[in-house]
């Protein structure tokens, strides 16, 4: 007997389509026959350069991206615009009438938000305002499913199991009530996402908008299956990969340091534990959440991560793989932690929703690190230009620029 699985195709609007996750998700959705619409103000391209970085792989222009997408994947509408501007989003949503909107269009770097007062205020303004524009654009449209990319860092590292729900029971002096899950973020960036989550929760309560609030851990990886032609990556389909101190996350950035023969950086004791997820698994999870929306008017919280690792363990995995692939072993430097965070702590977030939707992890960090190192190695001459900017630059405690920074 032959079973045919029918997946309804949808119109999906990706805000932040030019980014690491946005582009990778666009490829996936396009490949699966969904109609892909995207908007981006391209600011990450400029902001990465502001701090001495750039994508590890050269990034095609928007025009080139549109063309290569059409050639390999299918039709796409990729609009350059800023969602924080009045009416931009409302007008585009009214034109496209999407089934789902995935919101990545935010300043996504914790260090960038901690550089100084101006960067902190920019982060708050940009992130909160963009989400508020989205909320007002869809307030009368509960039929549109909003998937908001938040972060596991909204919770901080509490000494209790992190629930996967908007509310939790709170007891005080013999009385109890359901309150929003307490959060204690670790940077202005992470706090901006907490404020976003609260604003969305309030809009859900008042107007019944339909939301999946995704709390994702740090993402790693240089490719997804949608960028591949057999064993080879189609270079023009690659997504941006940041590797500098502000925009590169701990796995990708230390992988570049390994390629360049620099010591891997572990902040403080290195016991900081996070819920990591590969780019491939992130895209798979988002696809499942889009295909399985919550009920109209529901606010669904999803903790999106696959494996818990300490940053020390990650450095060891990278050192081992580098030695195996290239015959030298990078040193591991334990540097004074530039952040204010716990370096040893309990960490046990709940994760039920994705498994309940049939989600299965496809990539594991201990294996994926080999493809990351192999991909980056091809670009080592380009990466040498950014080596200085992979060093520690931003110190949470002084809250201003390193004097040699710019």
Question: Which of 73, 29, 21, 13 has the alpha carbon at shortest distance from 288?
Answer: 29
Which pair of tokens denotes residue 378? 């091809």
Identify whether 193 is a catalytic site residue: yes
* Residue 277 within binding range of ligand USQ, rule CB under 6 A: no
Six-digit token pair at 377? 């190695």
Residue 311 CB, nearest approach to ligand USQ (Å) = 4
Q: Is 53 in the site for ligand USQ (CB under 6 A)?
A: no
CB of 99 or CB of 281, closer to ligand USQ: 281
Determine the 3-state secondary structure of 389 from DSSP. Answer: helix
User: Which of the residues 44, 151, 249, 390 is marked catalytic?
Assistant: 151
Q: C-beta of 108: minimal distance to ligand USQ in Å? A: 4
Q: Which of 123, 193, 222, 390 is catalytic?
A: 193
Q: Which 333-392 positions form the footprint of ligand USQ (CB under 6 A)?
A: 339, 341
Given the residues 122, 189, 309, 359, select the one marked as catalytic. 189
Least distance CB 340 / ligand USQ (angstroms) = 10
Q: With binding defined as CB under 6 A, does residue 304 bind ligand USQ?
A: no
| Under rule CB under 6 A, residue 152 binds ligand USQ | yes
What sign results for the dihedral spanned by CA atoms 338, 340, 343, 348? negative
Q: Could you confirm whether 346 is annotated as catalytic?
A: no
Residue 283, both tokens? 């895209």
With 0-12 / 13-18 / 19 or more C-beta atoms within 10 angstroms meaning exposed / middle / buried, residue 231 is exposed
The dihedral through the CA atoms of 7, 166, 86, 67 has a sign that is negative
Query: Least distance in Å: CB of 221 to ligand USQ?
Result: 13
Helix (H) or strand (E) holding 28: helix 20-31
Q: Is-contact 301 166, C-beta < 8 A?
A: yes
151 contributes a contact to ligand USQ by CB under 6 A: yes
- Least gap, CB of 50 to ligand USQ (angstroms): 16
**Pairing between β-strand 167-172 and β-strand 175-180 as defined by DSSP bridges:** antiparallel
- Of 325-344, binders to ligand USQ (CB under 6 A) are 339, 341
Region near ligand USQ per CB under 6 A, out of 37-45, 102-110, 296-304, 361-369:
102-110
Establish if 108 lies at the interface with ligand USQ (CB under 6 A).
Answer: yes
Contact with ligand USQ (CB under 6 A) among 19, 153, 156, 293: 153
* Whole-number Å distance between alpha carbons of 238 and 227: 6
Residue pair 367/319 in contact (Cβ under 8 Å)? The answer is: no
Indicate whether 130 belongs to the interface with ligand USQ (CB under 6 A).
no
Spatial CB neighbours of 230, under 8 Å, sequence gap ≥ 6: none
Binding of residue 274 to ligand USQ (CB under 6 A): yes
- 238 part of the interface to ligand USQ, by CB under 6 A: no
Considering only CA atoms, which of 108, 105, 107 is closest in space to residue 134?
105
Distances from the Cα of 175 to the Cα of 84, 104, 171, 172, angstroms: 41, 39, 6, 5
Q: Which stretch binds ligand USQ (CB under 6 A): 14-22, 53-61, 124-132, 247-255?
A: 247-255
Backbone angles phi, psi at 49, to 5 degrees: -70, -35
Does position 317 interact with ligand USQ (CB under 6 A)? The reply is: no
Is residue 120 within 8 A of residue 188, CB to CB? The reply is: yes
Is 189 part of the annotated catalytic residue set? Answer: yes
> 266, 277, 286, 318: which one contacts ligand USQ (CB under 6 A)?
266
Are 24 and 48 in contact by the 8 Å Cβ rule? The answer is no
107 is a site residue for ligand USQ (CB under 6 A): no
Q: Does 254 bind ligand USQ (CB under 6 A)?
A: yes
**Contacting residues toward ligand USQ, per CB under 6 A:** 108-110, 151-153, 190, 217-218, 249-250, 253-254, 265-267, 272, 274, 311, 339, 341
């Amino acid at each position: 007997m032959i079973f045919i699985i029918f997946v309804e195709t949808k119109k999906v609007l990706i805000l932040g389509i030019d980014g690491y996750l946005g582009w990778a998700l666009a490829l996936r959705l396009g490949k699966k026959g969904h109609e892909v619409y995207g908007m981006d103000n391209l600011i990450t391209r400029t902001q990465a350069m502001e701090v001495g970085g750039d994508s590890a792989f050269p990034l095609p222009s928007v025009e080139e991206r549109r063309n290569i997408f059409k050639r390999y994947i299918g039709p796409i509408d990729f609009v350059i615009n800023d969602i924080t501007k009045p009416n931009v989003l409302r007008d585009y949503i009214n034109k496209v009438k999407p089934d789902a909107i995935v919101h990545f269009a935010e300043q996504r770097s914790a260090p960038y938000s901690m550089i100084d007062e101006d960067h902190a205020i920019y982060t708050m303004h940009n992130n909160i305002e963009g989400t508020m524009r989205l909320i007002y654009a869809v307030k009368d449209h509960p039929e549109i499913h909003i998937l908001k990319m938040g972060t596991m860092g909204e919770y901080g590292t509490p000494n209790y199991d992190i629930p996967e729900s908007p509310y939790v029971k709170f007891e005080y002096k013999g009385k109890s009530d359901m309150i929003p899950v307490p959060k204690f973020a670790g940077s202005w960036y992470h706090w901006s996402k907490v404020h976003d989550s609260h604003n969305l929760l309030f809009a859900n309560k008042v107007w019944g908008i339909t939301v999946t609030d995704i709390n994702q851990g740090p993402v790693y990886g240089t490719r997804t299956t949608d960028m591949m032609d057999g064993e080879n990556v189609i270079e023009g389909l690659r997504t941006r990969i940041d590797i500098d101190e502000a925009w590169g996350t701990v796995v990708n950035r230390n992988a570049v340091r390994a390629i360049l023969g620099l010591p891997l950086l572990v902040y403080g004791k290195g016991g900081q534990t996070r819920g990591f997820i590969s780019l491939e698994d992130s895209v798979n999870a988002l696809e499942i959440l889009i295909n399985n929306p919550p009920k109209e008017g529901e606010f669904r919280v999803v903790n999106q991560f696959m494996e818990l690792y300490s940053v020390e363990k990650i450095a060891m995995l990278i050192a081992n793989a580098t030695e195996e692939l290239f015959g030298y072993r990078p040193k591991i430097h334990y540097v004074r932690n530039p952040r204010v965070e716990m370096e040893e702590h309990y960490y046990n977030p709940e994760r039920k929703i994705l498994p309940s939707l049939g989600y299965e992890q496809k990539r594991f960090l201990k294996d994926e690190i080999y493809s990351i190192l192999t991909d980056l190695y091809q670009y080592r001459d380009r990466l040498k230009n950014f080596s200085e900017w992979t060093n520690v630059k931003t110190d949470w405690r002084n809250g201003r620029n390193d004097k040699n920074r710019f």
